[in-house]
Amino acid sequence: MLRNESLIERVRERGPDLRHQLAAALEGIPLVREVRGHGFLLGIEYVDPRDGNSFLPPELGVARRVDLTAMDLGLIVYSTMPTRDGFAGDQTLFAPPFTSSDEELAQMVARFADTIRTVARSLEGQLR
């Protein structure tokens, strides 16, 4: 199916634009440090907005908040704390299906941006 439907070529062609759209949708959210990746496998790394550099305090559970908020908005993402100790460094994997249409991708990007804005607002009082 991947070859018959030219899905690999579509992902190769569409991937850079998807990363750009996601980065643009998250621009200006101090919680977001970086959007990186290739094709339809993109990672979003978070940072403590108080200094723009440090990991977020693990007790805030940002990875879990992102996953639950996204699910409430009808989007499935996978967030982790992938550092060696497994207790710091929240990030999210944004990996839409290869068969997603441009309209579906745009909707996923919008829902993910809403997710991150919602999580960032929920953290404001806890990051003073």
What are the pLDDT digits (tens) for 3-55? 666 888 989 999 999 999 999 999 999 999 999 999 999 999 999 999 999 99
Enumerate the domain spans of the chain: 7-126
Residue with tokens 């723009």: 52
| CATH 3.90.1150.10 matches 7-126 | yes
Q: What is the DSSP letter of 126?
A: G
Residue 90: left (phi > 0), alpha (psi -120 to 50), or beta?
Answer: beta
Tokens of 5: 């439907």
* pLDDT attached to residue 3: 60
Contacts of 107 (CB under 8 A, 6+ apart): none
Q: What is the DSSP letter of 99?
A: T
pLDDT for residue 2 is more than 60? no
Instruction: Report how far residue 56's alpha carbon sits from residue 96's, in angstroms, rounded to the nearest whole number.
Output: 26
Residue with tokens 């959210």: 29
The model scores a pTM over 0.85 = yes
